[in-house]
Structure 1
Amino acid sequence: MEYREEPCRSALNRVKGMPFEWSLNPYTGCAHRCTFCYVRAFEARAERPSDDRYGSSIRVKVNVADVLRRELARPSWKRESVAIGAATDPYQPAEGRYRLTRACIREFGAARTPFSLITRGPMIRRDVDVLVAAARRAKVHVSFSVPTLDERIWRATEPGTAPPRRRLETVRILTEAGIDTGVALAPLLPGLSDDPELLAEVVREARAAGATGIWANVLYLRPGTREHFLAALDRDWPELLPEYERLYKGRSYLSSSETEPVRGAVRELARASWQPRRPTIEPEPEPQQLALAV
Structure 2
Amino acid sequence: MRWDHLAADALGVSADFRDITFHEITARSMLNRMRGAPRGGVAWTFNPYRGCSHACTYCLARDGHDHLGLGVTTGFSSQIVVKTNAAAVLESELRGGRARGDWVMMGVATDCYQRAEGRYRLMPGILRTLAAHRISFTTATKSPLLARDLDLFAEAAERAPILVMTSLGSLDDRVRRAFEPAAAPPRARLELVHTLARAGIPAGVLLAPIIPYIGDRPADLDALVDACAEAGAVTVWPDIMRISPAIRPWFFAQAAEALPHHLYQRLVAGYGTRRGMPDGYVRRVTAHIHARAARNGLPAWQDYIRAHPPHRPPEQLPLPLT
Give the TM-score normalised by the residue count of structure 2. 0.81
Identity, in percent, stands at 36
**Separation in structure 1 between the aligned mates of residue 97 and residue 267 of structure 2, nearest angstrom:** 49
> What is the CA deviation profile of residues 227-282 of structure 1, one whole-angstrom value per residue up to 9, with x for unaligned ones?
2221111112232344333332332122331211111221222223348xxxxx99
**How far 1:17 sits from its partner (Å)?**
7.3
User: Residue 285 of structure 1: CA displacement?
Assistant: 10
Q: Secondary structure at the match of 2:250?
A: helix
What amino acid is aligned across from residue 263 of structure 1 in structure 2? Answer: T
Q: Does 1:271 align with 2:294?
A: yes
Give the Å deviation of 1:82. Answer: 0.9
Say which SS state the counterpart of residue 171 (structure 1) adopts.
helix
Distance verdict in 2 for CA 1:69–1:92, change over 3 Å: same
Q: Does the alignment pair 1:7 with 2:26?
A: yes
Superposed CA offset, 1:130-161 (max 9, x none): 11111121111111111111121111111111
Partner of 2:47: 25
For 2:303, the equivalent position in structure 1 comes to none
2-structure distance, mates of 1:69, 1:287:
19
Q: Which residue of 2 aligns with 1:102?
A: 124
1:138 is matched with: 160
- More displaced, 63-72 or 51-60? 51-60
Q: 1:60 to 1:131 in 2, by over 3 A?
A: same
Determine the C-alpha separation between the residues in 1 that align with 2:72 and 2:57. 10
Cα distance in 2 for residues equivalent to 1:216 and 1:42? 23
1:115 alignment partner, SS class: strand
C-alpha distance in structure 2 between counterparts of 1:188 and 1:107, whole Å: 34
Equivalent in 193, 196, 206 of residue 184 of structure 1: 206
Task: Tell me, in whole angstroms, the C-alpha distance in 2 between the residues paired with 1:99 and 1:6.
Answer: 15
Instruction: Report the Cα distance in structure 2 between the residues aligned to 1:121 and 1:108, rounded to whole angstroms.
Output: 21
Offset of residue 226 of structure 1: 1.8
Counterpart pick for 2:66 among 28, 36, 44: 44
**CA shift for structure 1 position 287:** 9.8
- Following superposition, the deviation at residue 128 of structure 1 comes to 1.3
8 Å contact kept, 1:43–1:224: no
Distance in structure 2 (CA, Å) of the matches to 1:105 and 1:133 = 9
Structure 2: how far apart are the matches of 1:267 and 1:153?
22
Q: Does 2:269 align with 1:246?
A: yes
1:54 partner SS: helix
Alignment map for 1:146-165 (pairs within 5 Å): 146-165=168-187
Deviates more, 1:39-48 or 1:134-143: 39-48
For 2:249 and 2:220, the matched residues in 1 are separated by 26
Q: What is the alpha-carbon distance in structure 2 between the residues aligned to residue 74 and residue 63 of structure 1? A: 17
> Between Structure 1 and Structure 2, how many residues are aligned?
285
SS at match of 1:173: helix
Provide the rounded CA distance (Å) in 2 between the counterparts of 1:204 and 1:168. 11
Task: Give me the TM-score of the superposition, normalised by structure 1.
Answer: 0.88
Query: CA distance change for structure 1 residues 164 and 17 in 2, over 3 Å: closer, same or farther?
Result: farther
Give the superposition deviation at 1:189: 0.6
Gaps of 5+ in 2: 1-19, 299-307, 316-322
Structure 1 Cα separation of the partners of residues 146 and 191 of structure 2: 11
For residues 222 and 105 of structure 1, do their structure 2 counterparts lie closer, same or farther at Cα, with a shift above 3 Å needed? same
Per the alignment, in what secondary structure is the counterpart of residue 109 of structure 1? helix
Alpha-carbon distance in structure 1 between the residues aligned to 2:276 and 2:153 = 34
Extract unaligned runs of 5+ from structure 1.
276-280, 289-294
Pair 76,176 (structure 1): closer, same or farther in 2 beyond 3 Å: closer
> Do 2:136 and 2:310's aligned partners in 1 also have CA atoms closer than 8 Å?
no
